[in-house]
Structure 1
């Protein structure tokens, strides 16, 4: 068992120590024969890890120390920060009382408070740069620290630290700390069924739950109580599709949802327009086999599932009697929306979403008329060593471009889907305008080095378009809106007119 003892040594007394943490509560002492510490003097207000050493009380003074013996602790050097005796001594005295109690609850409290105390005394290594500071903040959202604390750890003045931090992150350190705490709060709320607001506040280092609620509402636009209602259905999405897009548009935040870390490495594996709405959601790596045990840790009430690309090896066996809503492949984005809305009795919301989307598409079509009808278009994706030429139908993006927004397709495009072509075959097609989607500039430049590239009509007329379209995915309401806004912005049209 872990144990604390209190020792008061008079002048010249020597105390042999077992492996333990020594806290010096008053005055200072000399040590000898300690295997793990290279210090020769123990200073007041400091803690030290010692093994098989001895402590000598100083001349003309008494020595007050506490010895904390930790069972099965591995011999290693532990660094501690200076802590004022007036703050630490009362806690250690309380722990001595608790450890001697016959009450099981008191002994449990002793263990919990002991480790909390040791953690608070442990010295954090100096932070060498802003990136280390960011990692420290991200990994310690449960702690309370000020900008002055962070600046001291970074060995900078508060003013210099704040300036360097904002230059690196774009926001002041105080704002970053609060953002980190609120992200952690959302994670706690979403991933822990039944957690109360007071416990959430305490776990992010805020003692006053009412202050936490005010802060949450000010920064998130809704109270924690209202936020909890967004996850009252506790839905997990098990799919290689971003069906969380449809759920979010219906006002439901999933407790677990798929992500693609290699495709969206900077935004937690999802397009940027989904990153903020999914804060707190448990993220499932859709690039690997889904693990049913991982999903069940967030205690979902129901699961939305589609056929998985890896076949039977990803068949999921559920450990609870959960409702599993299976969705077959749907041909349009609103078919998915209608099915998901039906599961949760939100059919009324579908009509509103579809009406708003129809108005958005109508305005966008009118704004794009001059661009879309000024020639015959071909859409290409350069993917690895492959050049894909898309047809005008049977693909969500192509249907949005050609059928909904009015882009005029070249008459010789494939009937549907896509085909792989060469530059020579593209020259035979010779469209007026070429739109490259999901293609990097480097991939397009490689194609452009082909000898016959410059013979293309679109190249001669400078009608080659390469938007940043990695996130263009119109299979859900939020993604569809994002793609339409992206097209309008790319062609330098006034995006505000979309919402007049």
Structure 2
């Protein structure tokens, strides 16, 4: 059992201490300890780990210390810093009062407040560069600190620090700190069922909940109370598909949803257009088997699930009476939207979404007409050492290109799905234009080293197109819109005309 003890040593008095953390609340002391052989004095306002040893009160002065007896902590785990005794001593006194209480609640509070106090005495480390400063902010959203505090940690003046920080991140440090706190607030709201605004505010280091509410509304455009209502349907997505796209379009933020960290390493494993809407959502690594225990930590009311690629290895067990909606593979993007909307009685929203999408597609088709109809196209994905040639149907992306937006397919394309081909087979097809999707320029350049590459009609006529299309995924409303905007922008058309 952890224990806090207070000692007031008179002049020359010696104290033998057990393995413990020592906090010096007044004056300083000589210490005799093998573990602290390089430290000759214990200074006021600092904490020290001592495995064993003795403390001697200074001459002509008294020594005020607190001892935290902890048996299950290794001393090398802790690096302490200075704290003000006037602020720290009352916290120790509160702990002593709590530990003497016979109330179970008080004993629980004692343990919680003890570890919080220890943490507060260990977090003021020096920051060697701006990367460390950013890491510190990201991991200390619960703390209150100012730009001046951060500058001091980085051993810079506030003006110099602010200038360097903005150059590094693009925004001032104060805005960066608030942004991280608001993102943490959203995570607390989404992932903790029933949490109240006051608790959220305090857990991000803002004691005034009304001030927090104003900050939240300024950043998000809605109050935290209204934001909480967005997750009244606590939905977890257990799928290798980004079905969160459909949920967000229906005004529902999922409490858990899939991600692909190897595909989208810079945006938390999700496409950039989903990053802001999914702030706060627990992201589940879809590149490995899902763990039902992880999903249950966010306490979903229902789960939307599709067949998983890993078969029985991905079998999931749910708590009793958990509502699970299983969706079979759908041929069209809006089929998923319709099914999901039915679960939450949002059929009217589907009609509006489909109408807006049809209007967007019609405008895009007109804008792309000159590009799409000026030759026969082939869509290719260079994937590792594999070259995939896509057919004209039975794939959401190809149907968007060929059937919806009017790109003219080569008449010898496969009808469905894709086939794996060689460069020689691509030469035999010899399309007028080639659109390389989801392919890096380096991968295409590697294929282009084939000795007969320059014989391709598309190469001779400079009709090879390699857009940055890693995020093009038209299976959901948001992804579909993002791909259409990307196509219009890539072919140097005025994207603003899409919304005229």
Query: TM-score, with normalisation over the residues of structure 2?
Result: 0.96
Aligned to 1:27: 27
Moved over 4 A (4+): none
Aligned to 1:374: 374
**Gap runs ≥5 in structure 1:** none
Q: Tell me the secondary structure at the aligned position of residue 330 of structure 1.
A: coil
Aligned to 1:164: 164
Contact 1:18 1:53 in 2 (8 A): yes
Contact 1:31 1:41 in 2 (8 A): yes
List per-residue Cα deviations over 1:200-247 (Å, max 9, x = no partner).
111111111111111111101111111111111111111111111111
Aligned to 1:212: 212
- Could you say if the C-alpha distance between residues 355 and 23 of structure 1 is closer, same or farther in structure 2, counting changes exceeding 3 Å? same
- Could you say if the C-alpha distance between residues 149 and 37 of structure 1 is closer, same or farther in structure 2, counting changes exceeding 3 Å? farther
Aligned to 2:302: 302
List per-residue Cα deviations over 1:166-217 (Å, max 9, x = no partner).
2222222222211111111111111111111111111111111111111111
Aligned to 1:352: 352
Distance in 1 between the 2:37 and 2:171 partners? 41
Residues 1:409 and 2:409 are matched in the alignment:
yes
- Could you say if the C-alpha distance between residues 420 and 73 of structure 1 is closer, same or farther in structure 2, counting changes exceeding 3 Å? closer
**Gap runs ≥5 in structure 2:** none
Distance in 1 between the 2:352 and 2:339 partners? 15
Q: Which moved more, 1:10-19 or 1:263-272?
A: 10-19
Contact 1:34 1:50 in 2 (8 A): no
Aligned to 1:332: 332
Distance in 1 between the 2:130 and 2:322 partners? 45
Contact 1:3 1:70 in 2 (8 A): yes
Contact 2:81 2:125 in 1 (8 A): no
Aligned to 2:94: 94
Contact 2:33 2:50 in 1 (8 A): no
List per-residue Cα deviations over 1:101-131 (Å, max 9, x = no partner).
3333333333222222222122543222222
Q: Which moved more, 1:99-108 or 1:336-345?
A: 99-108
Distance in 2 between the 1:60 and 1:411 partners? 99
- Could you say if the C-alpha distance between residues 463 and 28 of structure 1 is closer, same or farther in structure 2, counting changes exceeding 3 Å? same
CA positional deviation for 1:162:
2.0
Residues 1:313 and 2:313 are matched in the alignment:
yes
Report the count of equivalent residues.
500
Distance in 1 between the 2:317 and 2:60 partners? 73
CA positional deviation for 1:37:
5.2
Query: TM-score, with normalisation over the residues of structure 1?
Result: 0.96
Q: Which moved more, 1:353-362 or 1:421-430?
A: 421-430
- Could you say if the C-alpha distance between residues 416 and 91 of structure 1 is closer, same or farther in structure 2, counting changes exceeding 3 Å? closer
Q: Which moved more, 1:59-68 or 1:261-270?
A: 59-68
Describe how 1:198-277 pairs up with structure 2 within 5 A: 198-277=198-277
CA positional deviation for 1:84:
1.8
Distance in 2 between the 1:492 and 1:34 partners? 72
CA positional deviation for 1:154:
1.8
CA positional deviation for 1:408:
1.2
List per-residue Cα deviations over 1:303-361 (Å, max 9, x = no partner).
11111112222222212311111111111111111111111100000110000000000
Distance in 2 between the 1:137 and 1:181 partners? 9
List per-residue Cα deviations over 1:415-471 (Å, max 9, x = no partner).
222222222222222211111111110111011111111111111111111000011
Residues 1:178 and 2:174 are matched in the alignment:
no
Contact 1:37 1:50 in 2 (8 A): no
Q: Tell me the secondary structure at the aligned position of residue 409 of structure 1.
A: coil
Distance in 1 between the 2:493 and 2:96 partners? 72
Aligned to 2:490: 490
Aligned to 1:443: 443
Aligned to 1:54: 54
Contact 1:36 1:77 in 2 (8 A): no
Distance in 2 between the 1:412 and 1:2 partners? 76
Residues 1:390 and 2:385 are matched in the alignment:
no
Contact 1:263 1:269 in 2 (8 A): yes
- C-alpha RMSD over aligned residues: 1.6
Residues 1:107 and 2:107 are matched in the alignment:
yes
